[in-house]
Structure 1
Amino acid sequence: MTQTDSNPLQIVDITTVNQETADQLFGAARTQGFLFLEGHEFTQEEIDSVFDLSKQFFELPHSYKTKYSIDSSNHGYADFGGENLDPTGQKKGDPKEALNMCLLNFLTGLSEKEIPDWFAEDPKRLEIIISTIKKFYALSMKILRLLAIGLKIEDTDETKGEDWFASKYAADKESGSTFRFLHYPGQKSLSPESVIRAGAHTDYGSVTLLFQQENQEGLEIYSPVEKKWQAVPFVPANTDKFPGMGPPIVVNIGDLLSYWTAGLLKSTIHRVKFPAKVQETGQDRYSIVFFSHPNDEALLEPVPSEFVKSIEGRGANKDSEVITAKQHLDSRLAATYGWKK
């Protein structure tokens, strides 16, 4: 596990699933809520191909993209200004566009809903989508198993402790999990007066996985440790240790997992704010994101871990009524998009 002055986040190698790795991951999740993961098994070639696909999609005519506009299931194309991640602090929506693929079946790697037919026109495009979604799901399951080991979740009659989270993320059941392409036009080309490109927010789900590119920085976290905004840099791949692999992936804990663990795991506030260098060059920013959510019917009941049981009056330990993962997500989406619950 490494950390430097220029990088506020710990870098954890998850190649091996054991107690040591779990403790490192758990430690970062409960202090910073954000970390870098290496040993994720995404090759540089795979990452480059999905970024290229994303850029090509966003270059399509606006009239075509809006035919697949986002709906109340959070699926579809979100136009510029359509999403406001900081509704209490911002009057205008964020100057960015996105494509969400929701209602994912991780056995097929596809959404149960319609996606732009442009992807199916070329089998290679569709295969990139399928492969990336399946690998994100597999990585999220590995992370959840490591967190369960770090939390020392107890075995129950139904499942082993290390599988407690994973058992609520069945591959073929409906969930709020979302695969997302994001495009932030350069500072000079869209809303140049707006320094913030994505408002300060926390993520809704359990775990978020993010790839960003070199020279397209902008992600900042409000550090729970330092109590100030800190820029998250691009960290290059460790090619000596992981030949052919892509750079470390950014991972953060979301509200749902924080609520589930009574606040033990930190859902850290973050935003996208173009640094001065990127503002001057007008460089666009693209990112690839996967939001992992439990199955819709999963109950957010207290986690059977001594770490969690010792916390009183917070999250799932506080509420007398157990809510489902879908109820939690619906509430957050309504605030972001202005939808009625």
Structure 2
Amino acid sequence: MMAQIAKIPIIDIASDTEQDQLKVAKKLVEAAVEHGFIYIRNSGKDIPIEAVEGTFDLSKKLFAAPVAEKQACTIQPNNRGWSAMQYETLDPKNQRVGDYKEAFNFGEFIDGKAQQPIPPTISEHEGQISAFRDLCHGVCLKINTLLGIGLEVNPPSFFASAHLRENGPSGTTLRFLYYPPLSDLLPAADGDGNTPNEDDVRAGAHSDYGSITMLFRLKGQAGLEILTRQNTWAPVPVCPPGTESDPAPPILVNIGDLLSYWTNGLLRSTVHRVVFPRRGERVAVDGETSTEPRYSIAFFCHPVGTTPLLPVPSERVRNFRRSEDGGEKNNPYAERKVMTADEHLQMRLRASYLTLYKDEKA
């Protein structure tokens, strides 16, 4: 049996003229409204392919570091640091156990230096990580600008301006992720409930927290699925049809809860998950596998923390009706009140890190 792959538009955001930019902006908005996910072709112009490959090499090096090194950098309430296997639970209502993954979150860098402890194994490369983070942030500003143009926001720089680092700190996070192969987890059967069964997942069903997410994946590593409007799970190939000969896999971009809330639910924050291989099920695209180790890099872009999530000055956003267009369903975490970007982020983190916040008062 083979699942039908997700129908996600592939867009090249490069544009040479103002007219081209407007066309790209309109395509981007329609994809964000209908799907919440967009493939962005990666030609290496905005983010050099060598930079992506080099960052993946550092990610593998970090996760192979001694456990003691990583434990010394355990994640803190500021959402920075290492989270061990099963520490995070992205779908606490439905998961039997926490996610079968490790992660390391990098926050702000100043002059190429991390403002948090990082394992000695990669400390000499922190400038390289900082540079990659800067590249990602630049592309996110470009995408936010295009969304402003496509939504006819006045001024078009409305979203991008809220993400400028010179205006203050934010919850923006660069995240390395490692999902061990199923074969490494099965021998752990020791009666403690940590061995995955057929209903367990590598990362629970969730929507992202911020404005937009950029996801980098390696060829051949399957596992990501999105929940479609028909309420079915659809695999998201690393290289969708039409991109097989591209110099690098496209960057997967998706809308987060904050931007969905900010646009009154018009832009769709789509639920997604990472799964183990299922018995008797074939992968959706030849050459991909979900049985090997899986690495990914996510860049979660957030506005400056003090940004009030006021109504977006866009006629289309203003006229959007939640009840008619399903906005409330698309963004279940939205509330009809103004909050800041930081308040919105904290609301989501407390739901995911049950252990980290268990001793704090709500």
Superposition TM-score, scaled by structure 1 size: 0.87
Provide the residue aligned with 1:128 in structure 2.
128
Provide the residue aligned with 1:158 in structure 2.
none
C-alpha change, 1:49 and 1:305, in structure 2 (3 Å) is same
C-alpha change, 1:337 and 1:222, in structure 2 (3 Å) is same
Provide the residue aligned with 1:60 in structure 2.
65
Whole-angstrom distance in 2 between the partners of 1:67 and 1:143:
36
Provide the residue aligned with 1:189 in structure 2.
184
**Aligned-partner SS, 1:68:** coil
Shift of 1:192: 3.9
**Count of residues paired in the alignment:** 321
**Aligned-partner SS, 2:147:** helix
Q: Output the amino acid matched with 1:306.
A: E
Q: Deviations over 1:237-260 (max 9, x none)?
A: 9597x7xx5221000000000000
Whole-angstrom distance in 2 between the partners of 1:44 and 1:262:
36
Shift of 1:83: 0.1
Work out whether 1:331 is the aligned partner of 2:347: yes
Whole-angstrom distance in 2 between the partners of 1:136 and 1:280:
27
Q: Output the amino acid matched with 2:22.
A: Q
Counterparts of 1:113-192 in structure 2, within 5 Å, are 113-120=116-123, 122=124, 125-154=125-154, 161-172=155-166, 173-190=168-185, 191-192=195-196
Contact 1:42/1:246, CA 8 A, preserved across alignment: no
Contact 1:35/1:250, CA 8 A, preserved across alignment: yes
Shift of 1:319: 5.8
Provide the residue aligned with 2:258 in structure 1.
256
C-alpha change, 1:272 and 1:138, in structure 2 (3 Å) is same
Contact 1:28/1:35, CA 8 A, preserved across alignment: yes
C-alpha change, 1:281 and 1:263, in structure 2 (3 Å) is closer
Shift of 1:61: 1.0
Contact 1:36/1:251, CA 8 A, preserved across alignment: yes
RMSD of the TM alignment (CA)? Answer: 2.5
Contact 1:179/1:291, CA 8 A, preserved across alignment: yes
Superposition TM-score, scaled by structure 2 size: 0.82
Q: Output the amino acid matched with 2:139.
A: L
Shift of 1:213: 1.0
Whole-angstrom distance in 2 between the partners of 1:109 and 1:13:
30
**Aligned-partner SS, 1:333:** helix
Shift of 1:297: 0.2
Provide the residue aligned with 2:23 in structure 1.
20
The counterpart of 2:315, out of the listed 298, 302, 306, is 306
Contact 1:186/1:282, CA 8 A, preserved across alignment: yes
Whole-angstrom distance in 2 between the partners of 1:296 and 1:179:
16
Q: Structure 1 vs Structure 2: percent identity of aligned residues?
A: 39
Moved more, 260-269 or 59-68: 59-68
Whole-angstrom distance in 2 between the partners of 1:331 and 1:267:
16
Whole-angstrom distance in 1 between the partners of 2:219 and 2:343:
37
